Amino acid sequence: MKAKFLLTLFSIVLIIGLTGCASKPTADNNDEGNAAIRAATSEDEQFLDKSVFPKDKVVDVKITIDKDEFQDILDNASAEEYHTASVDYNGEHFDNVAIRAKGNLSLRSVVQMDDSDRYSFKLSFDEYVNQTLGGISKINLNNNFSDPSYMREFLTYELAEQMGLPTPKFSYVNVYVNDKLWGFYLAVEQVGDSYLDRNFGNSYGALYKAIMSTGSDLKWIDDKLDSYPGLTQKSKSSNNNVLIDMLDELNNGTDWKDYVDVDDALGYIALNVATNNTDSYIGGNKQNYYLYENEGVWSILPWDYNMAFGGMGNMTGGFGGGKAQGGGAGASTSNLLIDEPTQSAVADRPLVAKLLEVDAYKEKYHDMLQNIVDGYLSDGQFQTRVNELSDMISSYVKADPSSFYTYEEYESGKTSLISTNASTVTNIKQQLDGTIPSSGDGSGSGGGMGMPGGDMGGQGFPGGQQQGAAPGDNAAGDQQGAAPGGDNGQGFPGGEGMGQPPEGFQGGEMGQPPEGFQGGGFGGGGGGMRGGGMPAFGNMGGQVAEQDNSKEAITAGIAIVVLLLACLFIKYFNRRRL
């Protein structure tokens, strides 16, 4: 009887222990755990940093594909359909790799260009067979759209990595198609199992992405997943109603800190403010981020930074019907209020509002910004890093056969990048030391899609080609869709404050117009922007996949199995005694 009691007691304790392991940890413990996981560098990660995503050299990615298949990718890029290819990635050969065009604004813009097929591509190593590249199943080859410096995304991810944020791997690559140099790209690891395992210690949590056009401000609507079309599910399951639970608590509860990884969220906000990246959660389109649920606690993940360093307010290059031929070197004049960085009312971005209304969190956030502007983005350190990268990539940029920009525009883009950063750093330092205000009346930093007043440099927005217009000039060349600098009533007027709708935005739509743009969205073909305008995208809201109860089922299953084993063991023990 004593043995039976002890065995039964052991079974009960074991079940309680397993159930306890499956319960949600506090957010504070989760923060510490995530930081420890990211601090550890495994042999697999060392391999990735050395052989797949090195920072000190350019990797060759050679794609071999039937020429008709590749032409189909180019001719039907919007379909984003996979085709089969072989890939030699830094000398490692793979057959049966899937490749397709990818992108949102960049893809649709290239579709409308008359003289470019420079699409971004996605490589999927495990689409057809069970294979990975160093554990990574998908890699994006980004075309550096709207970035004449070729450096915005690289530098921002490098800063994010230095901050300890969950950062995808990245590196420069020279892309070849059928032995012909196609272009100089940036390779970025897709957020997937390898990324999640490396940054969170697991990959079974719920994963959502804020999609372009619809986006999500994370404000509460109701308890139906269909009411949040801007968040599309990327994981196989989403663990019951964890997303709804988080949104409800974030907006309506008092224990929201148990549902949000505070360090990751503060770091994400600081990263976007420091790099003046309004093409993110803080911007009018509230897009370009992932949400990952780790045992009930959510992290916001950095993603897509070709518009960082004021890119939304300094649109060097064309967005539509023709390759940009001009573009001055003028820096963006846009600066954000660090304590109201949103491009609508702060209350409209609850993740920002809730965090920054807690004094301890605001102080931590300010410390993060101070470390950034005194460290990585400080004038001397940042300029040195830009020059180092320039030394590494300039010859590749010069040889790039499909570039959106001339080599002179690349050089000008570097100058603009350095001066834009210097202006932003000075502004942030003044806000941090109280020289200038860091907040206003709660209405945020204004500006719809983040395009400030001031000169747009005559740089070609959508429509025709902008032939070398200088900042502040009335742009020469084809005025269809041009966004000239200077206050001439066309495109973006100079000298007007942030948050005012640019003149010329009169027609078309892009699903939902960005907040702050009154009276119409981005021109759909003929509307807005003097007849050019961004392509009309329509409503791109994703279908939210059904959620399941997988984690609860696993926990219950383990408990039942342990009970059955305990009972069998007791029965067997009694028989042996008899």
Lowest mean pLDDT among 148-162, 199-213, 460-474: 460-474
* Domain ranges within the chain, ordered by starting residue: 2-33+548-577
Quick check: helix, strand or coil at residue 350? Answer: helix
Q: How confident is the model at residue 33 (pLDDT cuts 50, 70, 90)?
A: low
Q: How confident is the model at residue 240 (pLDDT cuts 50, 70, 90)?
A: confident
The whole-chain average pLDDT of the chain stands at: 78
* pLDDT tops 60 at residue 175: yes
Higher confidence at residue 44 or residue 438? 438
Lowest mean pLDDT among 142-156, 206-220, 383-397: 206-220
Residue where the block lists tokens 């294979």: 131
Q: What tens digit of pLDDT does each residue of 463-511 get? A: 333 333 333 333 333 333 333 333 333 333 333 333 333 333 333 333 3
Side-chain-facing half-sphere of 452: CA atoms under 13 Å: 18
For residue 413, the model assigns a pLDDT of 97
Q: What share of the chain is helix, strand, coil (3-state, %, to 5)?
A: 40, 15, 50
Higher confidence at residue 27 or residue 162? 162
* Number of Cβ atoms within 10 Å of the Cβ of 515: 23
Q: How confident is the model at residue 237 (pLDDT cuts 50, 70, 90)?
A: confident
For residue 532, the model assigns a pLDDT of 33
Phi, psi for 294 (deg, rounded to 5): -110, 100
Q: What tens digit of pLDDT does each residue of 95-130 get? A: 999 999 999 888 999 999 999 999 999 999 999 999
For residue 43, the model assigns a pLDDT of 81
Given a contact cutoff of 8 angstroms between Cβ atoms, the answer to whether 471 and 458 are in contact is yes
For residue 118, the model assigns a pLDDT of 97
Q: What tens digit of pLDDT does each residue of 510-530 get? A: 334 444 433 333 333 333 333
Q: What tens digit of pLDDT does each residue of 304-339 get? A: 999 999 888 644 333 333 333 333 333 444 689 999
* Sequence letter at residue 216: S
Lowest mean pLDDT among 158-172, 174-188, 299-313: 299-313
For residue 423, the model assigns a pLDDT of 96
Q: How confident is the model at residue 383 (pLDDT cuts 50, 70, 90)?
A: very high
For residue 212, the model assigns a pLDDT of 79
How far is Cα 240 from Cα 549, in angstroms, rounded to an integer?
5
For residue 562, the model assigns a pLDDT of 54
How far is Cα 255 from Cα 249, in angstroms, rounded to an integer?
7
For residue 578, the model assigns a pLDDT of 37
Going by C-alpha positions, the residue among 482, 525, 529 that lies closest to residue 503 is 529
**DSSP string covering 500-548:** SPPTT--S---SSPPTT--S--S--SSSSGGG--PPP----PPPPPPP-
Q: How large is the average pLDDT for residues 446-464? A: 37
Alpha helices in 357-451 (DSSP H): 359-374, 379-399, 407-432
Going by C-alpha positions, the residue among 269, 298, 294 that lies closest to residue 283 is 269
The percentage of the chain sitting over the pLDDT mark of 70, rounded to a whole number, equals: 66
**564 CB contacts (<8 Å, ≥6 apart)?**
none
Residue where the block lists tokens 């518009």: 307
